[in-house]
Amino acid sequence: MGAVAGRALMILTQCPACRTLFQIDSEALEACGGAVRCGQCGAVFQADIYSLDSAAIAHPRKPRSRVWPLAVAAVLLAVALGAQGLYAARAPLARTVLTRPVIRALCRAVPCGLPHPAALGRWHLLEPRVTLSDGGLLRIRARLINTAAFRQSLPLLGVTLRSARGRIIARARFPAHVFLRHPRPALGPGASAAVRLSLHAPARAAGWRLSLLATARR
């Protein structure tokens, strides 16, 4: 893939993992041995193997007969960039009344993992009851409620244990399918669910604290 005199050579390639299109300078590609990292999903692949055309897309100085491949590549790149932007903004667009039906329809046609809106401050633990038996069994009972006006994916439950002197001796976080009595992926507005969790606490445990933590956003 050496340089051709008078032309700036570009290679059009496509990530095999997320199908994102890229144009890569042939000299830069040669310098890295053909291996590139996708800027969208992070996958590493051989750009020359996954090129869309076996020949480099050249930028000639004058001949107009070679202009159309550049126009096609530009359109493809514009579509790819537009799709990337739409994917990145899918969550806020899904919360807007005008765009919500369009985004949901697109995500049904092409699964895009539309996340639920998240408002950690609108989750509350009602009537928490924590007991520690003589055998060191810590029982946690509470009711988790979503006070937001929209459906939310469930948060993590954080449990921190402290010694009699107030030092942290254990800390853990649990996903919803572990601490809910009846596991589910999300709760609608105003809905609640029973929290039931039993743990074997260290002998030095004398105090505890419960907290709700955000899950990783997509």
**Is residue 114 in a domain?**
no
**Is residue 25 in a domain?**
yes
How many folded domains does the chain comprise?
2
Residues 34 and 77 in one domain: yes
**Is residue 5 in a domain?**
no
Residues 128 and 206 in one domain: yes
Q: Which of 72, 87, 102 is the last residue of a domain?
A: 87
CB atoms within 10 A of CB 187: 21
Owning domain of residue 147: 120-213
**Is residue 61 in a domain?**
yes
- Full-model pTM: 0.48
CA distance 67 to 81: 21
- Give per-residue pLDDT as tens, 76-87: 777 666 655 555
Q: Quickly state the pLDDT bin for 175 (edges 50, 70, 90).
A: very high
Nearest to 144 by CA among 132, 159, 128, 161: 128
CA distance 37 to 18: 12
CB atoms within 10 A of CB 76: 15
Among 15-19, 41-45, 130-134, 166-170, the range with the most confident prediction by mean pLDDT is: 166-170
- Is residue 147 exposed (0-12), middle (13-18) or buried (19+ Cβ within 10 Å)? middle
Q: In the predicted model, is pLDDT for residue 116 greater than 80? A: no
Residues 37 and 81 in one domain: yes
**Is residue 145 in a domain?**
yes
CA distance 90 to 174: 28
Q: Give the CATH number of the domain where residue 205 resides.
A: 2.70.50.60
Q: In the predicted model, is pLDDT for residue 2 greater than 50? A: no
Residues 180 and 139 in one domain: yes
Q: Count the residues in the chain.
A: 218
Q: Quickly state the pLDDT bin for 103 (edges 50, 70, 90).
A: low
Nearest to 148 by CA among 182, 168, 118, 178: 118
CA 138 from chain centre, in angstroms, equals: 33
Q: What are the E-state strand segments in 35-136?
A: 35-37, 44-46, 123-132
**Is residue 1 in a domain?**
no
CA distance 105 to 87: 13
What integer best gives the mean pLDDT of the chain?
76
